[in-house]
């Protein structure tokens, strides 16, 4: 039996089309920009330079994580590494906020409530109506899921609880088997995972940021508890978000 892995790498996808207009994306399937693809390639070259190699990549079903993983692996010279995707690694579902920018959201619901929704842990934004075309029940990506699994809105806690079964049932067993993992996901999903790994309170979690385009190396003890993590430095020439 292989020894447990000593590390894994977490990576938030890069710049997407809706970043250009400051719109909340959530489960909307928006592609990367050229900048986002360049960020992924830069990170891949830096990971290879630092001596990292992967046995598997795990990402969401949204195309911005798939594009990120493919560009990163190509830059590492290892495009053959298998990519596994799951809806459980999707971004948090922002409900009625999806597709809106902050100015529109403040005008509709007020700044105080809006900031509680997107920075807090417990309170979800207003849900989508079941007949809203943005509802995931209309998206073929989720045709195989039970209706009860499809969110109309999620708090950060909801997103975390939806993600954690994949951590316990898929990622942890692979790490125990010695697999070297790259997890390419989204800001809130990775915040929820870091909160779980570091045993952070909801209050502390509100201050945690996961920057896009910078690999986080999570160091693991033999029992797979976290001993620390570090951001892999990226050259200044890398495109900025």
Give the rounded distance of the alpha carbon of 57 from its chain centre.
13
Give the CATH number, domain containing residue 79.
3.40.50.1240
125 falls within a domain = no
Per-residue pLDDT, 235: 67
24 falls within a domain = yes
226 falls within a domain = yes
141 falls within a domain = no
The sign of the dihedral angle between the CA atoms of 241, 216, 230, 204 is positive
* Rounded Cα gap, residues 66 and 29, in angstroms: 11
pLDDT band at 236 (very low <50, low <70, confident <90, very high): low
Establish whether 91 is a catalytic residue.
yes
Write the pLDDT tens digit of every residue in 190-234.
999 999 999 999 999 888 889 999 999 999 999 999 999 999 987
Q: State how many domains the chain has.
A: 1
Structure tokens at 146: 């039970």
196 falls within a domain = yes
Per-residue pLDDT, 202: 92
203 falls within a domain = yes
Structure tokens at 139: 């998206």
> Is the predicted pLDDT of residue 136 greater than 90, yes or no?
yes
Pick the residue with more confidence: 22 or 41? 41
**Nearest alpha-carbon partner for 208 in 233, 229, 227, 181:** 229
16 falls within a domain = yes
Say what the pTM is.
0.94
Query: For 157, how many CA atoms within 13 A lie in the half-sphere containing its CB?
Result: 11
133 falls within a domain = no
Spot the catalytic one: 39, 70, 91, 154: 91
Per-residue pLDDT, 1: 58
Q: What range defines the domain where residue 43 resides?
A: 7-93+154-231
Per-residue pLDDT, 237: 43
Establish whether 135 is a catalytic residue.
no
> Is the predicted pLDDT of residue 85 greater than 80, yes or no?
yes
Neighbours of 93 (CB within 10 A): 27
The region of weakest confidence among 15-19, 89-93, 136-140 is: 15-19
């Amino acid at each position: 039996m292989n020894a447990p892995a000593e590390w894994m790498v977490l990576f938030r996808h890069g710049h997407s089309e809706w970043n250009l207009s400051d719109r909340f994306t959530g489960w909307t399937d928006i592609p990367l920009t050229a900048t986002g693809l360049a960020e992924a390639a830069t990170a891949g070259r830096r990971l290879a330079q630092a001596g990292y190699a992967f046995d598997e990549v795990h990402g969401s079903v949204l195309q911005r994580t798939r594009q990120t993983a493919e560009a990163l692996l190509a830059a590492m010279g290892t495009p053959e590494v298998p990519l596994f995707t799951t809806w459980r690694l999707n971004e948090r579902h922002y409900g009625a906020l999806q597709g809106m920018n902050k100015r529109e959201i403040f005008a509709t619901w007020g700044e105080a409530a809006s900031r509680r929704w997107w920075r807090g842990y417990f309170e979800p934004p207003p849900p989508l109506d079941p007949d809203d075309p943005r509802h995931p029940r209309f998206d073929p990506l989720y045709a195989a899921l039970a209706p009860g699994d499809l969110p109309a809105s999620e708090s950060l806690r909801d997103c975390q609880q939806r993600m954690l079964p994949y951590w316990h049932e898929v990622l942890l067993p692979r790490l125990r088997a010695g697999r070297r993992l790259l997890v390419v996901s989204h800001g809130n999903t990775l915040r929820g995972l870091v909160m779980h790994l570091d045993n952070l309170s909801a209050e502390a979690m509100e201050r945690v940021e996961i920057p896009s385009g910078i690999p986080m190396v999570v160091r693991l003890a033999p029992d797979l508890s976290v001993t620390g993590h570090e951001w892999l430095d990226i050259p200044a020439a890398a495109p900025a978000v």
